[in-house]
Amino acid sequence: WDFFFFFRAALDARGAAMSHAVHREVHPPTGVDHAVTAYFTRPVGDGGDPNLIVASANRITVYAVNRRGDEESLDVCAEFDAQGAIGSMSVLRRRFGAPRNQRDALLIAIRERKLSVVEYDAATGDVCCSSMHSFESALGCNPLGTTLRMSREAPLVVSDPEGRCAAVVLREDGVAGKVRVLPSVDGGLGLVANDDEGRVRGPAASVRESFPLHLPGVRLIRDACFLHGYGEPALAVLYEKTPTWAGRYNLSKDTCEIVALSVDVDKQKGTVIWRRQNLPSSSYKLTALLPPLGGALVFSQDFLLHESQESSSVLGLNTFGHGGPQEGNDAEVAARAAGMGENAMANPPPACAARAVDCGLEITLDGAQASVVSEDRVLVTTKTGALLLLALHTDGRSLRRMMLQRAGGAVLSSGMCLLSRDLLFLGSRIGDSLLVKFTPKEEPTAPLMLPDAEDESEDEATEKSKGKRSKSGGAANRKRAKTAEAPPPAPSTPSPEDDDDELEALLYGTTKTETVQTDAVQTEKKREGLAGIIPGLKVAGYDLKVKDSLLGVAPVVDIAVGASAPMGSNKNERTELITACGQGKNGALAILTRGVQPELVTEVESGTLPNLQGLWTLHYRKEGSKEEREPFHHHLLLSMKSSTMIMETGEELQEVSASLEFITNQATLAASNIFGHYCSVQVTGTGIRVLKGGVKVQDVGLQDMDAPKGAAIASAQILDPYIIVRLSDGSIRLLSGDEKQMSVSLMETGAIPTSSVTAFALVDDSVEAADAAGGGERKSGWIHRAATNGTITGLEGNKKSGACNNSEAIVALTREGGSLELFSLPSCTRIWCADGLSEGMRVLSPQTPVNAESSVPEIVDIRIDSFQDAHERPLLTAVRGDGTLLLYKGFIVPAGTTYEGQDEPLEKNELRFSRVNVDVEGSGLNVAGIGAAGQLRDSLAGARLTRIGNVGEGQGVQGIFVAGPNPLWLIVRRSRVLALPTRGEGEVVAFTVFHNVNCPHGFILGTALGGVRICQMPSKMHYEAAWPVRKVALKCTPHTITYLPDFKLYALVTSAPVPWVEREIEQDNVHGIALAKVRRERAKANDDMELQYSVRLLVPGSLDSAWQHALEPGEHVQCVRNVQLRDINTGALLSLLAVGTAMPGGEDTPCRGRVILFQMVWERDAESMDGYRWKGQVCCVREAKMACTALSALDGHLIVAVGTKLTVHTWDGVELNSVAFFDTPIHTVSINVVKNFILVGDLEKGLHFFRWKANGFEKSIIQLSKDFDRMDVVSTEFLIDGATLSLLGSDMSGNARIFGYDPKSLESWKGQKLLVRSAYHVGSPISRMVRFNVEGTTAKAAPGERPKGTNRHAVFFGTLDGALGIFMPTDEPTYAKLHALQRELNTTVRSPIGCNPRTFRTPKVFEGKHVQLLAPLDVLDGGLLSKFETLTFTEQRAVAERSGVDRDLALGLIQHLSASNAFV
């Protein structure tokens, strides 16, 4: 290891003089890899539903089920990055005998042979690591440690359903698997106690040190699970004794076996209790069943088996699984002739086929997911998206029969788990994940006979069992059976069309329409029947309904950057990012924007309202009129520096300042409706005016507020019926309204301090919320209950006439020194206080005193809000004097919880606030600074933060708007806070919601330049993650998408199955005959369907298809580019669409391809809004003897990778002519061109760097350098920083390497070898890269000098897990400072599961792959650097001081990098 670190230091020193880059993940992964359920954030003793825990790549999200009447949804409880590639997850249950307030623990297996035990910390509202286990092997002679080698089979962690132990299966390529057992800590009566062995029984389940489990004769472990119903933990292991494959089934088949061991955790040994041999070689999955049956289901491609100590049963899934000779199979004839025996068969029958019962379906279960619903029901999803129901008919602990039937259509699931007795979660990597509610159907009253049944057949699958907690789920569901239904119609074999219709019905509640299929599709279809069904047998299915969905944009297949269509009255084009994602029926296009791009309805031009400072909209309700649910706004108040303008908001905006009695000769500080919209109140610097219908009702002057002489009102807030104001001397006054008298009066402040207050807010505590996420009764007055532990009663008053109940209002104050205090109204008693808000403490707790430094800036603005159905528990938003935005969420710490630094547990429940970390793009220091118009933003204290409510279509958007030079939307959704910048609006000084007949559910922005913009939210956008997304369903597989800037069109390539049609082929076309034979066999294996690719032209904005061209069936599109080709006859430069294709024909038929050029032409169309429409026209087709895998434009030429040749073509207006070529190694996957430099990525041979030389008649491709490390390239791109050109490539292991071409370096072998500048582990394979010019770098330069940064290009990329990220070059001084800061953050920032961020970002390689030379880790981790902003003020200063960087400078550099990432 000393040599390893010495070598690493030498590489770091070498790379110090090279160019540097920073990586930043701008959108988290969305593809669900694993999903489990656990009582993670709350114990089982509290009742309610368990948590749903979802893993997406290296990100874990914990959800709680939120039930509102008949509606169920998922709310986020916690989310964090694991800093490691997650291989598997399991749940360590609360052990029998442990306290009922003990929670479950989460077991996370990392691919680098590590295991982390994670639990929820109720004292901080966050997660923490209780223990970390490493199973790395010794270094040995291999220079690359096991921590940097990843097995292709990830470590598998499973746990005992009764919580007695857990097991980790370590699987290595070609090596027998190893199993290590982790005994759980014994359960006890006390919540926290130590025993004689030093084992701690804490608030969550935990494990002790692991020990190896000896497995005699076990090799190549495929799966494992713990069985139910045994006195000791019973581990079942599925393994392959002798490796084989489909081509060797005639010599070696039935190679899988199961061994069940009883594990004695005290003696640390296992005893074999039963075995099963001769299982199908395709067996891959085990699922434990609930007692009394017990045992495990074994999933294979063609069979479904149940194996237990008492019985063994087999269910056949298709006719192919039974094997036997195949007519017309030339391979069988050749094998018999070669002496392999007369009975040699390509598909010999497995041993279990003789006793298998036919299920009556034609399905395969490879890649299936399953969940055990009850003791006799299992739901299974297939790789095609079909949802199956497996019925188990038992006799005690013996299985009589298994029956399989179709239950409907679903998403293609990658993770499936049961949340409760009626909720099922279907996680997907290629579509939206679904929360499905299932209710049992009525048992049929008549026997199900064979011709009438759709409901019978067998199939099976299950997920990690839920032990005794899910034991009675099926029985309870059966008791709730509803009205009987008629027998279902005659079944049919599940087809893709059926699955699509059923998925649409599942998602949108539509009924399945009857479709007429062609005779070609109906032929060869096998009717679905019920095998083994006897008269009198009753089987009931489930009614399914989608309750919630989690948005998914994985995998990112391709990315295009284009210009969106104009929206509303705004005719300016905007950049939009479109990704092609999903597969099959889940295929879609996702339009993503970084932030909120308002749709302009109308505007008041800039400069019309100079010194604009505030905006307020008011309702007007006539006395005696019926209260409207969503009334329109009637008046708009515009506050300038010394005046106020009143506008009437009807069909048009009209000034009515003279006709109404509002105060217009002064600036307005606050305005709102009170007394249930009957009256309005206006606060100015000299007093308060109450109006009814625009007529003055009351004036409250400074003398009525006992203001000292010379004082004026500095700021104010209004919450019906209370008004709080701060005078210029810093004192606080509180006024209360009387609805009967229609007046306001000064009230006694009681314990509320009147001095040393830095910020204040009125809080509405009337939102109904449960005490904890996902459980308990929903009541109003949450803050009162939490702060007083329920001692204040009478808080559940109903909201009357839109007003807040008197006992549901709270005053929040921040004092000098950073303390936060809450006071109840109208009693004005202090109910809660805590220190450390200005310090930015992780948790605000009354139990933890904080002595903040005197240099910490004070809080200048504060809000506390609760949002119905979006963020029900309070959200605290505060702005510090230095511009830092602080967010906290409220939570209740249950009694008995211990806190760090305290010995005694809490005696009663306690209210605390935990900090919420949000990524604020480039704002920060300028939030409270001086704006572009020179106005001091500090004069708007109390107006920076505005509540957003009911903005946008549908359920609307809720949250907080932060005004300033970089306006920010804090949108709340699923109890999660999303920080989204405002695009294209500049500095915003005021915001207000606006509901009008011409602008429903809109908003108004006041700009610093004196303009007003009335806007609406973009339609059909989903605010689920870091970027707003709009998905357009394709219901087919997208492959590539390209933007055509000259025509403002998108070119999309999709594929969909079409019926096989026999085509006439000439007799002398040997290749065509062989290709047709292969395609025919492939179509027969897919229900006589084959893929057909098509090229579409899409219109920006709506993304409607303007034109479509279908390619030949069986011809696959490999690449699509918009190219600029020069006509050698005319010299004109034409913009064309180039498509490269391939015609795969299997191993025995050469794969040929074509290059097709399309030109865009337009034709008149009366139905189009523009009067014309675009369409494509084939202008050239060039046949190729090999596949065309990549192409690009090169100085007016077309460069194409055909097989193992790189060819350059010229265009003469009719055809392509070859002028130069170069032999490439194996398979070219990408071509990138910058000027005359060419970057080529090969799938197995790394990067190749070329230069195009064209001097007169001499045209050639010259290889400058190449990568000798044999990198398995997936995608490539250039990284440009001024005059420095770097080469970026990614591989299948999720690594990104930056290369440089330096012929003067001795290490480059005179330029022949590309030098690795740096390497970085992204965490997931990068599927597509896009280069773009970095915004905000076009600074002006002195005369004669080159503008600095004008040629800086970053790379935007998408991954197979649905994540989006950026690689951006950075200069040497910035890198040096941030690299020193990053070194400190590696050890300062708390890791949720205990993994090291530097180890995670170190490049890794899969076992069996070529080990590449170690490269310097010179890429900055932008995600880790952003954690610097989440530290407390004191921690920031300490870390910056240790790094040798000033705190403000470090924050400025980090925020500058964030602002430079403003891609769209």
- Per-residue pLDDT, averaged over 421-445, amounts to 86
Query: Would the pLDDT of 1345 be above 80?
Result: no
What's the pLDDT at 299? 96
pLDDT at 624: 63
Q: What single string gives the DSSP state of each residue in 527-555?
A: PP--TT--TT-----EEEEEEEEE----S
Any alpha helices (H) in 677-717, and if so which ranges? none
Residue % of the chain over a pLDDT of 70: 83
436 vs 454 pLDDT, higher one: 436
pLDDT band at 770 (very low <50, low <70, confident <90, very high): confident
For residue 212, what pLDDT is reported?
92
User: Residue 1014 contacts by C-beta under 8 Å, 6 or more apart in sequence?
Assistant: 600, 601, 602, 603, 994, 999, 1002, 1003, 1004
Burial zone of 896 (CB within 10 Å; 0-12 exposed, 13-18 middle, 19+ buried): middle
CB 1248 within 8 A of CB 1240: yes
pLDDT for 444: 53
Tokens 């009637």 belong to: 634
Residue 58 pLDDT exceeds 70: yes
pLDDT tens digits, 1032-1048: 999 899 999 999 999 99
Mean pLDDT of 552-581: 79
Pull the structure tokens for residue 1324. 């997931």
Is the predicted pLDDT of residue 449 greater than 70, yes or no?
A: no
Q: How far is CA 910 from CA 125, 191, 897, in A?
A: 12, 18, 10
Please give the Cα distance from 1206 to 1249 (Å, whole number).
12
Among 32-41, 600-609, 1249-1258, 1398-1407, the range with the most confident prediction by mean pLDDT is 32-41
Residue 27 has which token pair?
């959108």
Residue whose entry in the numeric block shows the structure tokens 């080529």: 1240
**Whole-number pLDDT of residue 864:** 95
pLDDT category of residue 806 using cuts at 50, 70 and 90? low
Q: What is the pLDDT of residue 939?
A: 42
Give pLDDT, residue 1463.
Answer: 59
pLDDT of residue 457: 34
| Residue that the structure tokens 């299974």 belong to | 380
Q: What is the pLDDT of residue 712?
A: 92
- Specify whether the CB–CB gap between 1299 and 1320 falls below 8 A: no
Task: Kindly give the pairing relationship between strand 1419-1421 and strand 20-27.
Answer: parallel
- pLDDT tens column, 1126-1176: 999 998 999 999 999 999 988 778 899 999 999 999 888 777 777 778 899
**Most confidently modeled range among 428-432, 529-533, 673-677:** 428-432
pLDDT digits (tens, 9 = 90+) for 591-616: 998 889 898 898 888 888 888 989 99
Name the pLDDT band for 182 (thresholds 50, 70, 90).
very high
Predicted pLDDT of residue 1341: 38
> Which pLDDT score, from 0 to 100, does residue 904 have?
76
Residue in this structure with the two tokens 């009753």, named with its chain if needed: 538
Q: Which string of DSSP letters, residue by residue, matches 1313-1372?
A: B-EEEEEEE-SS-EEEEEEEEPTT------TTSPPTTTTEEEEEEEETTS-EEEEEEE-H
Q: Report helix, strand and coil shares of the chain as percent, to nearest 5.
A: 10, 45, 45
**For residue 1411, pLDDT beyond 70:** no
Q: What is the pLDDT of residue 768?
A: 87
CA distance 87 to 1453: 35
Determine contact, residues 381/410, Cβ cutoff 8 Å: yes
Tens-place pLDDT, residues 909-931: 899 999 999 888 764 434 444 33
Q: Which pLDDT band holds residue 118 (cuts at 50, 70, 90)?
A: very high
Asked whether the predicted pLDDT for residue 999 surpasses 70, the reply is: yes
Q: What is the 3-state secondary structure (H, E, C) of 643-660?
A: CEEEEEECCCEEECCCCC
Reported as type and span, the H/E element at residue 1401 is helix 1397-1401
Helix segments in 256-379, DSSP class H: 330-337
Residue type, 19: S
What percent of the chain has pLDDT above 90? 48
Cα–Cα distances (Å) from 1395 to 35, 118, 209, 1400, in that order, read: 21, 12, 18, 8
| Confidence check: pLDDT of 453 > 60 | no
DSSP code string of 491-528: P----HHHHHHHHHHHHH-PPPPP-PPPHHHHTTPPPP
pLDDT reading at 311 higher than 70 = yes
Compute the distance between CA of residue 108 and CA of residue 99 in angstroms, rounded to an integer. Answer: 24
What does the pLDDT read at residue 452? 32
pLDDT of residue 1206: 95
Contacts 24+ apart (CB under 8 A), 474-479: 474/373, 474/374, 474/375, 474/376, 474/377, 475/374, 475/375, 476/421, 477/373, 477/374, 477/421, 477/422, 477/439, 477/440, 478/440, 478/443, 478/540
pLDDT digits (tens, 9 = 90+) for 133-160: 988 765 444 445 556 777 778 899 999 9
In this predicted structure, which of 565-579, 911-925, 1275-1289, 1353-1367 has the lowest mean pLDDT?
565-579
Task: Looking at mean pLDDT, say which of 232-241, 805-814, 1064-1073, 1308-1317 comes out highest.
Answer: 232-241
pLDDT at 814: 93
Please give the pLDDT value at position 958. Answer: 93
pLDDT at 620: 83
pLDDT at 1462: 65
Predicted confidence at residue 408, as pLDDT, reads 82
Question: What does the DSSP 8-state code read for residue 772?
Answer: B
- Categorize the per-residue pLDDT at 1408 as very low, low, confident or very high, splitting at 50, 70 and 90: low
Query: What 3-state DSSP class applies to 421?
Result: coil
**Per-residue pLDDT, 1082:** 85
C-alpha to C-alpha distance for 1081 and 321, rounded to whole angstroms: 18
* Cα 359 from Cα 982, distance rounded (Å): 57
Q: Does residue 1248 register a pLDDT over 80?
A: yes
pLDDT value at 866 more than 50:
yes
Q: What is the mean pLDDT of residues 794-801?
A: 38
**Residue 156, SS3 per DSSP:** strand
What integer best gives the mean pLDDT of the chain?
Answer: 82
pLDDT of amino acid 223: 94
In this prediction, residue 1326 has a pLDDT band, given cuts at 50, 70 and 90, of: very high
Q: Which band of pLDDT confidence, cut at 50, 70 and 90, is reported for residue 1181?
A: very high
